[in-house]
């Protein structure tokens, strides 16, 4: 199966292209330049693999939550390429992609949502399938919901920004923390492959971002304070 996956929900621009059993990947700290980088790099990966869009069986993208601009870019690119090549699309939650990227089987995924909040979810993998223990939500770090049991791994930028607050909530339940883990395109590819193979992908028109936070803009005073969404 030939599949393309990408994520622009964080400061990183992450791409992965599967050609049969081979995977071609590209990851770079893009800052605010995702829109300039992503299409040329998709073309470069296709060229490296000697594939065209018409050779693909599907497209997967990180739908969010994450940067508002970033998730809109990913959804827009997925829609455009999906329409243009008549390909099915799979939207993958970035928090689930974090869990997959961590390599752990019990994951409390947290992304820094700015403005003193985190995007949060908890997942457990059993028989190679992820189960949602806590659905994605937006919380103050000290108010994240509790989980049962031990052996949990904290993954994502939220653990870097709010280590103390999150660790206090989960105390002895944590086996470790991986604040550097990102929702990579390779993880999105792995999660999307069985969905596309089973015929449960969506049409390009259904490629929509997952926002969670309803606010899409900052007030003037918040921008002046240097805050970001």
| pTM of the full structure | 0.91
- The pLDDT assigned to 218 comes to 44
In whole angstroms, give the CA distance from residue 213 to residue 43.
Answer: 32
And the tokens for 38? 């992503």
In whole angstroms, give the CA distance from residue 70 to residue 83.
Answer: 20
And the tokens for 16? 């992965």
For the stretch 43-63, pLDDT in tens is 999 999 999 999 999 999 999
- The pLDDT assigned to 220 comes to 47
For the stretch 164-214, pLDDT in tens is 999 999 999 999 999 999 999 999 999 999 999 999 999 999 999 999 986
Nearest Cα residue to 68 out of 25, 115, 26, 28: 115
Q: Residue 6, exposed/middle/buried by CB under 10 A (0-12, 13-18, 19+)?
A: buried
DSSP E strand stretches across 22-77: 22-29, 58-64
Other residues' Cβ atoms within 10 Å of the Cβ of residue 75: 21
Residue with tokens 């103390």: 164
In whole angstroms, give the CA distance from residue 103 to residue 60.
Answer: 20
In whole angstroms, give the CA distance from residue 174 to residue 168.
Answer: 10
Report how far apart, in Å, the C-alpha atoms of 106 and of each of 63, 80, 128, 161 are: 22, 35, 12, 21
- The pLDDT assigned to 213 comes to 80
Q: Residue 123, exposed/middle/buried by CB under 10 A (0-12, 13-18, 19+)?
A: buried
Task: Check: CB of residue 71 under 8 Å from CB of residue 65.
Answer: yes
For the stretch 27-44, pLDDT in tens is 999 998 999 999 999 999
And the tokens for 66? 């994450």
In whole angstroms, give the CA distance from residue 102 to residue 107.
Answer: 8
Domains of the chain: 2-94+183-224 (3.30.420.40), 95-178 (3.30.420.40)
Residue 95 pLDDT exceeds 90: yes
- The pLDDT assigned to 226 comes to 55
């Amino acid at each position: 199966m030939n599949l393309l996956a990408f994520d622009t929900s964080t400061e990183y621009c992450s791409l992965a292209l599967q050609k049969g059993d081979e995977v071609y990947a590209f990851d770079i700290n893009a800052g605010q330049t995702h829109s300039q980088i992503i299409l040329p790099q998709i073309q470069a990966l296709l060229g490296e693999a000697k594939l065209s869009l018409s050779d693909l069986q599907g497209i997967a993208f990180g739908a969010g939550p994450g940067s508002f601009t970033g998730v809109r870019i990913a959804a827009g690119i997925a829609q455009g390429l999906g329409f243009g090549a008549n390909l099915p699309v799979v939207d993958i939650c970035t928090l689930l992609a974090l869990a997959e990227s961590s390599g752990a089987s019990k994951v409390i995924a947290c992304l820094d949502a700015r403005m003193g909040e985190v995007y949060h979810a908890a997942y457990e993998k059993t028989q190679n399938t992820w189960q949602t223990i806590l659905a994605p939500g937006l919380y103050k770090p000290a108010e994240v919901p509790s989980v049962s049991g031990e052996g949990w791994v904290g993954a994502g930028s939220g653990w870097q920004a709010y280590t103390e607050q999150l660790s206090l909530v989960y105390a002895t339940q944590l086996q470790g923390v991986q604040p550097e883990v990102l929702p990579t395109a390779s993880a999105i590819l792995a999660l999307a492959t069985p969905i596309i193979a089973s015929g449960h992908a969506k049409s390009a028109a259904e490629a929509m971002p997952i926002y969670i936070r309803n606010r899409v803009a900052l007030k003037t005073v918040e921008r002046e304070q240097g805050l970001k969404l």
